[in-house]
Copies of this chain bind each other. A is one copy, B any other.
């Protein structure tokens, strides 16, 4: 089973000319997405090989783009935000079309939006009003989250019929939500 997390970066920069020193500002909160990448993949002295992370970047100047990171292929990724940011920069510097093109090992980029991914995979929506992940059996394989912004009205329309799942009683940042969901999945597998 492949686990998938899709994070929508509503203002995240879509070319590679942002500064790693200003990811919260000039790069449109790319730092949020970098922390989500960390949460998707890092274990103590290991990577989660069964996870794929999709980042849908909707900021200027070339939206929409989608970055895909595959846990079973990725190389050169360290846990710090700058490391993920640097690999995302490289991918965004690559000319891309409608199909995924590999940038560095295990990291891919294509033109494409949320709608296309919704057609490709069955996602559940991580939402504070959803059903508690601990009460769901079986746990879904693929999840959608937003960055620090709410989904737009247009996006809400696309995702309104997805099953809604909650990570707990408090509203968490996207990266913390991924960590909690993966911990529950770890427990189900044991």
Name A's B-contacting residues (CB within 8 A). Answer: 20-21, 23-24, 31-32, 35, 38-39, 42-46, 78-83, 148, 167-173, 176, 179-180, 183, 186-187, 189-190
Contacts and interface: CB of A to CB of B under 8 A. Distances in A.
Q: How many copies does the complex hold?
A: 2
A88 to B, nearest CB: 14
A176 B173 CA distance: 12
Given A78-B24, A79-B31, A82-B21, A44 B187 contact: no
19 contacts: A21-B21, A23-B80, A24-B78, A24-B80, A31-B79, A32-B79, A35-B35, A35-B38, A43-B171, A43-B172, A44-B148, A44-B171, A45-B171, A167-B183, A168-B186, A169-B190, A172-B179, A179-B180, A180-B183
Nearest to A42: B173
A40 B47 CA distance: 23
A10 to B, nearest CB: 15
Contacts of A169: 186-187, 189-190
A70 to B, nearest CB: 19
Contacts of A170: 43-44, 183, 186
Contact of A44 (B82, B173, B183, B189): B173
A38 B81 CA distance: 12
A85 to B, nearest CB: 10
A170 B47 CA distance: 11
